[in-house]
Amino acid sequence: MTVTDRIAAARGDTPADLLLTNLQLVNVFTGDIYPTEIAIKGSRIIGIGSGYEAADTVDLGGRYVAPGLIDAHVHIESSLCAPPEFSRAVLTHGVTSVITDPHEIANVHGLDGIRFMLDSAKGGALSMYVMASSCVPATHMETAGADLDAADLQTLLDNPWVIGLAEVMNFPGVVYGDEGVLEKLDAFAGRPLDGHCPGLTGQALNAYAAAGIGSDHECTTVEEAREKLRLGMVIFIREATNAHNLRPLLPLVTPENSRRICWCTDDRQPADLLDDGSIDHMIRVAIREGGLDPVTAIRMGTLNTAEYFRLYDRGALAPGRRADLFVFSDLDAPRAELVYRGGQLVARDGALTITLSPPPVTALPHSININWDAVDFSIPADGQRVRVIGSLENQLITEHRIEDARIENGFAVADPARDILKMAVIERHHASGNVGKGFIHGIGLRRGAIAGTVAHDHHNLVVIGADDASMMTAARAVERLGGGLVAVDGERVLAELPLPVGGLMSDRPIDEVRAALDRLLDVAAHELGSTLHDPFMAMSFMALEVIPSLKLTDIGLVDVDRFEPVPLFV
Amino acid sequence: MTVTDRIAAARGDTPADLLLTNLQLVNVFTGDIYPTEIAIKGSRIIGIGSGYEAADTVDLGGRYVAPGLIDAHVHIESSLCAPPEFSRAVLTHGVTSVITDPHEIANVHGLDGIRFMLDSAKGGALSMYVMASSCVPATHMETAGADLDAADLQTLLDNPWVIGLAEVMNFPGVVYGDEGVLEKLDAFAGRPLDGHCPGLTGQALNAYAAAGIGSDHECTTVEEAREKLRLGMVIFIREATNAHNLRPLLPLVTPENSRRICWCTDDRQPADLLDDGSIDHMIRVAIREGGLDPVTAIRMGTLNTAEYFRLYDRGALAPGRRADLFVFSDLDAPRAELVYRGGQLVARDGALTITLSPPPVTALPHSININWDAVDFSIPADGQRVRVIGSLENQLITEHRIEDARIENGFAVADPARDILKMAVIERHHASGNVGKGFIHGIGLRRGAIAGTVAHDHHNLVVIGADDASMMTAARAVERLGGGLVAVDGERVLAELPLPVGGLMSDRPIDEVRAALDRLLDVAAHELGSTLHDPFMAMSFMALEVIPSLKLTDIGLVDVDRFEPVPLFV
């Protein structure tokens, strides 16, 4: 449709395609709500008010119409689904645009992984904007599948869906002026540069902001967020599966500062997405528990986010903007009943009304490349006492414990009775033969093993088990799946979730993914004896060597506090 | 200064250039005001808070520091000064950035005129951003000095100071999809497109907005502004010399909508700029008379404007942003005591602390090209009754009057006793010989004549007089000045203001310009008998054939309501 056609329909000389009547418009520009009509031509709103005629008219029965929601920051891979099925989960909740950092798939497949996300988004019905992943790999104490420098990232700038640089987690690199980091900032100068700086304060925070970083989504306290707001950073309040910042940060929001605050989910597992929703869930909590004005809460998930990311075609209902609409009945608990994207009805009462195209999985190579000759879980005893990772429920940080090793026949072995399990990280990208080995406390398996290829941020193959045979069964099972999660006991595979897309995402419907994950959790708890709600999620962070205190990567144990590798035996 | 240097200073490893202490920071992000310190390196703020050291430290004695102000829309030519002297007038009032539409000089000199403004801004100390003039000429019922189409305007896009398309006054052209107008919108797609649509409402307004027009500064009532706000347009509230919209529109502003509202001056004469100020004056009135929260009022002249125009390096005080500072003592009546631009002190207590460079006047050709052989003010009587422009004090609209002509020797002549003067518009760009002739009521000269080359929008030479001899003296005097304003009586030139830059602007200090204009007004009132406060300003709008009802251009009388030329005699 040309602008000429759009203007002709707007002035009423030609009919619109769709006219929505009998509605209450939520105006995020002015803060008021009023009855009116919305005329749509093609993908755009062309008129608001009376006097329009259209090929189709829909009576909305007095319901509220707000702009389609925008998630300011999400790693789609955490849904364990490729973009089309992720879009099912969020579109049905009124989210019509997301800004994603494809950091996980980038750590496996590099630029090809990012391009896969961009391509497969076409099979969904979501506007998926990409921020180029800035920290691949996270550190040099791991082996990731790719290494992306500024020149690599710059090749993405031709794509109109790539709009900025994703969370610069290497905040010390910014603050101390690391050349490679500054090259990335420079490559994306003039575009949004997202931040990630938990706890950064004072002059270091000034330095981070002075470098041009415009946002942060890692705040955990009002005080922290307020300092960042004052220094000009936009705050994305996050409510993830593994990080619950919404309720602690709600007191931050005031009429004076709310324009500088947005909502984001960061990482959400399928069950949370399906049961609670996306940022619509945050809006409901903000209204109900935080006492936020509903229009303010909606604006934080629409106009504010659109303006921060300079997406001037959305985030509000106005002539010329996209007809992305979030239709609901209860102003105090907005829940999507109808969702339009680009003028098309895409969801009704929690179900999609359109057909998704499957992701182009074959575009990506098989991602499991292991040198099995080098894989041996045995640990010759080289002393009496070992470092043990102390996993803490619902926390990403670990304890750095020193324990007596259980020695059998000259080898250090797992000791399930003391909840000391063996853990291994098998490099799976380049068949290097790297296998990091160690022990972990707090996972609680009484027998068998669990394994998976979701292991932030390098996503090598992680195995935790009570005996070496179960661990080998688990590792081999994961390879057979082409990546994924498994629970095994001896030679028996008890449950599995294939994640063939980079070892991170399924190509199946999200309901199936959720059911398989539920089955894995059930088996881990009831057949293997784990005491954790989700030992797979816990496992996925035990190899992340940027979060204290002791972690295991494919190169071995890392003392994160000293930021250097350490031996297993002390 | 490299970003590495900036970051090093921000983290405190190297000293800043300037440290401002003992101040109250006005934070437009959060709405709060608090004591802190500001560290500056080069042109940028690099740190806010304690712990910084610098080569120079300035104790601000507890004064408030707000961001430098930004005028959202101004025609610098209305100051009758070239950009350097205009910058003197506004910098001393705390305005460090303006967004200008060089519409007047563009109508005289086309692209060369716009480039002159861009070049001469370098001699000032102001950030002068240009919106490309969209309506040159205003209509086809006049002869302007230039005709700029989309291809012409596109050549400006290389200049980083050209940021968008200026007020699209041809709103019927937008609403009815005129091809040439749409080409201009398309040429500037993705950039701010400013609007100008007085009184536009309903579907026509929807069409104007659907075309992508993002702002309007022509609202005169709260109701009009509210409709535009709701449709997504940003409202620039204007307080010009000849249009006083501030007080009527103050009730529009609410905490919910204020982020969508900015301040602008549009057109201000030297006396207003020097005596009242620029948008700082609007901020004081808004606080004092409108009861606006001071931070909100300041934000409407800083952050809001910066965000609308996508100038992310200014509009707020934060690390990485420009050190453009507006320092004042009284929060209820902010008046600039110190002004910094890019870290440099540029004004103190109303006087510049820097030296301006004169404008590169010689870059422009002489702009007065008249075919004198064709200039003859006599009007052979072709009937008994004539159309007479009815000028109304302080209004741009005129009455379309029909009066008995005074006939002498077969010629229609002026009749000062009935306040019917003769008016002529001499085409002065191309020596075409066009001379429009007619009569005007309401100017009130008892004798002599006034003339000038400031005549919106074509800026031909306009003369109004009581006798043909005085008119010829006046017209010739204007040519001798190379453009400007004069008041004459018979053969005597009583007062004059040379405006050699395009016939629109002086190359002299603004104080001199103001004194010369005061003298002209004094002479017009006391020696020629005019009853108007400013007959020159009134005259400058009598040739503007886009404002009803009857106007005179170089091609003759125009009935604006019917939008067509009409004969003098009826």
> Can you give the pLDDT at residue B395?
83
pLDDT at res. B357:
87
If you average pLDDT over residues B149-157, what whole number do you get? 97
Closest in B29, B209, B260 to A230, CB measured:
B29
In the structure, what pLDDT confidence band is assigned to residue B40 with cuts at 50, 70 and 90? very high
> CA of B507 to nearest chain A CA: how many angstroms apart?
37
**Which strands sit side by side in the sheet containing A162-168, from one edge to the other?**
A69-74, A95-100, A127-132, A162-168, A193-195
Q: Report CB contact under 8 Å: B209, A320.
A: yes
Does A382 have pLDDT greater than 80? yes
3-state SS, one letter per residue, for A529-560 = CCCCCCHHHHHHCCCCCCCCCEEEECCEEEEC
Query: What's the whole-number average pLDDT of chain A?
Result: 96
pLDDT bracket for residue A412 (50, 70, 90): very high
Pairing type for strands B420-426 and B398-404 reads unpaired
CB contact under 8 A, A11 and B310: no
pLDDT in the model for residue B122:
87
Asked if B176's CB is within 8 angstroms of A3's CB, the reply is no
List pLDDT tens digits, range B422-480: 999 999 999 999 999 999 999 999 999 999 999 999 999 999 999 999 999 999 999 99
Q: Do B257 and A29 touch (CB under 8 A)?
A: yes
* List of chain A residues whose C-beta atoms are within 8 Å of the C-beta of residue B168: none
Q: Quick one: DSSP state of residue A13? A: S
- Using a CB-CB cut-off of 8 Å, the residues of chain B touching A175 are 7, 11
Of B176, B185, B320, the CB nearest to A212: B320
How many residue contacts between A and B have a Cβ separation below 8 Å?
174
pLDDT tens by residue, A125-143: 899 999 999 999 988 999 9
Name the percent of chain A lying above pLDDT 70.
100
Task: Identify the pLDDT of residue A410.
Answer: 97
Report the pLDDT averaged over residues A107-125: 93
Per-residue pLDDT of B72-114, as tens digits, reads 999 999 999 999 999 999 999 999 999 999 999 999 999 999 9
- Residues in chain B with CB shorter than 8 Å from the CB of A7 are 174-175, 177, 182, 207, 210-211
Which residue of B6, B31, B226 is in closest CB contact with A210? B6
Which residues of B are less than 8 Å from A210 in CB distance? 6-7, 10, 44-47, 319-320
CB contact under 8 A, A206 and B175: no
3-state secondary structure at position B548: coil
Contact call for A30 and B260, based on CB within 8 A: yes
Query: What are the tens digits of pLDDT across the range A449-498?
Result: 999 999 999 999 999 999 999 999 999 999 999 999 999 999 999 999 99
pLDDT of residue A152: 98
Condensed to tens digits (0 to 9), the pLDDT of residues B309-345 reads 999 999 999 999 999 999 999 999 999 999 999 999 9
Contacts of B231 in chain A (CB under 8 A): 48, 318-319
Residue B358 has pLDDT above 90, yes or no: no
**pLDDT reading at A123 higher than 90:** no
**What tens digit of pLDDT does each residue of A271-313 get?**
999 999 999 999 999 999 999 999 999 999 999 999 999 999 9
**What contacts 24+ positions apart, CB below 8 Å, involve A248-252?**
A248/A220, A248/A221, A248/A222, A249/A219, A249/A220, A249/A221, A249/A222, A249/A225, A250/A285, A250/A286, A250/A289, A250/A290, A250/A292, A251/A222, A251/A290, A252/A222, A252/A225, A252/A226
Percent of chain A's residues with pLDDT above 90? 95
Spatial CA neighbour of B374 closest among B320, B424, B441: B424
Helical ranges in B122-266 per DSSP H:
150-154, 171-175, 179-187, 202-210, 222-230, 246-249
Subunit contact B11:A175, Cβ cutoff 8 A: yes
Is the Cα torsion angle B331, B333, B336, B342 positive or negative in sign? positive
CB contact under 8 A, A256 and B295: yes
CB B54 within 8 A of CB B19: yes
- Are B519 and B487 contacting, i.e. CB atoms less than 8 angstroms apart? no
Select the residue from B50, B231, B258, B314 to test the A interface by mutation, using most A Cβ atoms within 10 A.
B231
Q: Which SS3 state, helix, strand or coil, does residue B268 take? A: coil
Cβ contact, residue pair B175, A7, below 8 Å:
yes
CA distance B238 to B246: 6
- For residues B500-506, average pLDDT: 97
User: CA geometry: angle at B334 spanning B329 and B339, to 5°?
Assistant: 75
Q: Which of B12, B31, B203 sits opposite A51 (nearest CB)?
A: B203
* Nearest by CB: B7 against A52, A207, A320: A207
Identify the CA nearest to B210 among candidates B235, B234, B229, B232: B232
Weakest mean pLDDT among A196-200, A361-365, A366-370: A361-365
pLDDT the model gives residue B284: 98
**Is A346 in contact with A339 (CB distance < 8 Å)?**
yes
- To the nearest whole angstrom, how far is the Cα of B254 from the nearest Cα of chain A? 8
Closest-CA distance, B130 to chain A, in angstroms, reads 19
**Do A318 and B176 lie within an 8 Å CB cutoff?**
no
pLDDT at A488: 98
Which residue, chain included where needed, has tokens 């490559």? A187
Chain B residues touching A254 at Cβ < 8 A:
30-31
Predicted-complex ipTM score = 0.95
CA distance A489 to chain B (A): 53
The mean pLDDT value of chain B amounts to 96
Contact A256 B207 (CB under 8 A): no
**Is the CB of B12 less than 8 angstroms away from the CB of A319?**
no
At B176-193, the pLDDT tens digits run: 999 999 999 999 999 999
Query: Are B200 and B172 within 8 A, CB to CB?
Result: no
pLDDT at A113 over 80: yes
Determine the average pLDDT of the residues in B259-280: 97
